[in-house]
Structure 1
Amino acid sequence: MGCCSSKEVNGAASRTSRWRSTGIVGLRDSKLKTIPNDVLDLERAVRTLDLTHNKIVDIPLEISKLVNVQRLILADNLIQNLPLNLGRLQSLKILVLDGNRITAMPDELGLLIRLERLSISGNLLSCLPETIGSLRSLQLLNVSNNKLKFLPESIGSCFSLEELQADGNSIDALPLSICSLIHLKSLSLNHNNVNQMEGFQEFESRRKKKFDKQIDANVMINSAGLDEGLDLR
């Protein structure tokens, strides 16, 4: 027993040392119900935290200690609420929360000013906070398969947005501000109730013309569905 216990301690210490040296913490499919304290205690050392496919229900307030984390991946868990101090993760660039039970995003989301990719598909969201407009670095927003009835007017302030995925909601109208998204390459609204708004057809025509020119000039574009335009069903 003593020998086995010693090996377990040494193994845990080795794992923690590896996390600290690489900055990458990967605990996929580990049957976790909470974020381990030995991960949170790494604080500034963590740059990537991947806890996909566990049984995590709550994100502890201590998550704010990971001030240098750039990629936070919590897909396929049982998360219902996000801590209000999530906005303290000022280095965060990628946040993945797909396949949880989240009903609302806190206003503090808008404090994540370096965020480039936000994916929260397959949750229970009925609306997005107006503060999402503060995410000026956001390039990808995936809110597919939620319960959204509309997108906030402030989304037009996400000036860097290139890809907006909102399939499988109950959206019946688009905000006028969406025409301000001059870098938008892909807009996906399948399985909603959207009717085209005034001025959108002109916007869509300009958008396609712009990126068709880039393709003709052999500019590499990595967004899927560029030529599909908007499918209103």
Structure 2
Amino acid sequence: MGCFLSKNGDTDRIARWRATGIVALRDSKLKTFPDEITKLDTSVRTLDLTHNRIVDIPMEINKLIKIQRLVLAENLIERLPVSLGKLQSLKLLNLDGNRITSLPDELDQLVRLERLSVSRNSLASLPMTIGSLRNLVLLNVSNNKLQSLPESVGSCASLEELQANDNLIEDLPSSVCNLSHLKSLCLDNNNVKQAPRNLLKDCKALQNISLHGNPISMDQLQQMEGFQEFEARRKKKFDKQIDSNVMIGSKGLDEGVDL
């Protein structure tokens, strides 16, 4: 760990962090995690260290027990400390664009976590313990090296959006059918040949499926039980977007099915 702050201005900067609960050091050319941050203990609610060159996260991060938003995107992080699981107030964890090869099992202790994004890393698998994240609404694991998703993902009872584009996934676990709140399933550019038989039947909130760049065909989806009900939800969402003049990125409106 290194010292980022100079003596001049230390007091004012730390006082501001304590008063606001927000520590924002984006694009600060940091190579190490600043000691001063962990010394703030319960004061920190949001920590944003995006776009630095940080390699290691110290075990002492567990001192930030009141933190709710932790953004460590675009760094050089290769591994996460097991002490990360002690941050049980955490609601958002963004680790996009690092070099992480595995997630610690202790992630299951983040019982309040609602949004987990680990896209553009080097994950070959996800821990089985991820199923303990019962409040997780968004899971983004796109652009990794995943060959499968764990069966336990079906226990993420609150999950609404699952993004797993640009991996090596061949099969989806049947437990995905347990995700009764799932609205969006994105699996572009994988090796998915077929979907779980009851996916459209059981995922009654599903409005969007994106499977561009997979061997699976539209005919396979159309023949699945529940397709007509899914199609009705998809069209309702699409029509609502048109009525609201909602545009989704450069591709235009999100129609809900892309094979």
Q: Shorter chain as normaliser: what TM range?
A: 0.7 to 0.9
Partner of 2:162: helix, strand, or coil?
strand
What is the deviation of 1:195? 1.5
The answer on whether the counterparts of 2:147 and 2:167 sit within 8 Å (CA) in structure 1 is yes
1:146 and 2:147 matched: no
Instruction: Check whether the contact 1:185–1:226 (CA below 8 A) recurs between aligned residues.
Output: no
Partner of 2:79: 81
Superposition deviation, residue 11 in structure 1: 1.2
Looking at structure 1, the residues matched to 118 and 182 of structure 2 have their Cα atoms a distance apart, in angstroms, of 19
> Residue 130 of structure 1 corresponds to which residue in structure 2?
128
Give the Cα–Cα distance (whole angstroms) in 1 for the partners of residues 158 and 234 of structure 2. 15
Q: Are the counterparts in 2 of residues 184 and 207 from structure 1 also a CA contact under 8 Å? A: no
Deviation track 1:97-150 (CA, whole Å, cap 9, x = no partner) reads 000000000100111010000000000000000100000000001000000000
Give % identity: 58
Match of 1:3 in 2: none
**Alpha-carbon shift at residue 227 of structure 1 (Å):** 3.6
Partner residue, 1:175: 173
Aligned mate of 2:113, from 107, 112, 115? 115
- Runs of 4+ deviating beyond 6 Å: 214-218
TM-score by length of 2: 0.79
Deviation at 1:209, TM superposition (A): 4.0
SS for the counterpart of 1:95 is strand
Identify the match of residue 93 of structure 1 among 69, 88, 91.
91
- Alpha-carbon distance between aligned partners in 2 of 1:91 and 1:196, rounded to the nearest angstrom: 38
Q: 2:12 aligns with which of 11, 14, 39?
A: 14
Amino acid in the other structure paired with 1:78:
L
- Structure 1 residue matching 2:7: 3-state secondary structure: helix
SS of 1:15's equivalent in the other structure is helix
Distance 2:200 2:237 in 1: 20
The structure-2 alpha-carbon separation of the partners of 1:84 and 1:230, relative to structure 1 and needing over 3 Å to count, comes to farther
1:33 offset after TM fit, Å? Answer: 1.4
Provide the C-alpha distance between the structure 2 equivalents of 1:208 and 1:93, rounded to a whole number of angstroms: 32
Shift of 1:52: 0.2
> Whole-Å Cα distance in 2 between the matches of residues 108 and 212 of structure 1?
40
Distance 1:165 1:59 in 2: 25
Contact 1:58 1:80 in 2 (8 A): yes
> Partner residue of 1:157?
155
Q: What is aligned with 2:220?
A: none
Within the alignment, does 1:66 sit opposite 2:64 as a pair?
Answer: yes
8 Å contact 1:208–1:227 — kept in the other structure? no
Kept after mapping to 2: 8 A contact 1:139/1:162? yes
Greater Cα offset, 31-40 or 121-130: 31-40
- Contact kept in structure 2, 1:189 and 1:230, CA below 8 Å: no
Number of residue pairs aligned between Structure 1 and Structure 2: 223
Q: Quick one: structure 1 residues 130 and 208, their matched pair in 2 at CA, closer, same or farther if it must change by over 3 Å? A: farther
Q: Secondary structure of the residue that 2:23 maps to in structure 1?
A: strand
Structure 2: gaps of 5 or more residues: 1-5, 207-226
How many angstroms does 1:201 deviate by? Answer: 4.5
Q: Is the counterpart of residue 193 in structure 1 residue 191 in structure 2?
A: yes
Counterparts of 2:75 and 2:178, CA distance in 1: 35
CA distance in 1, matches of 2:237, 2:101: 39
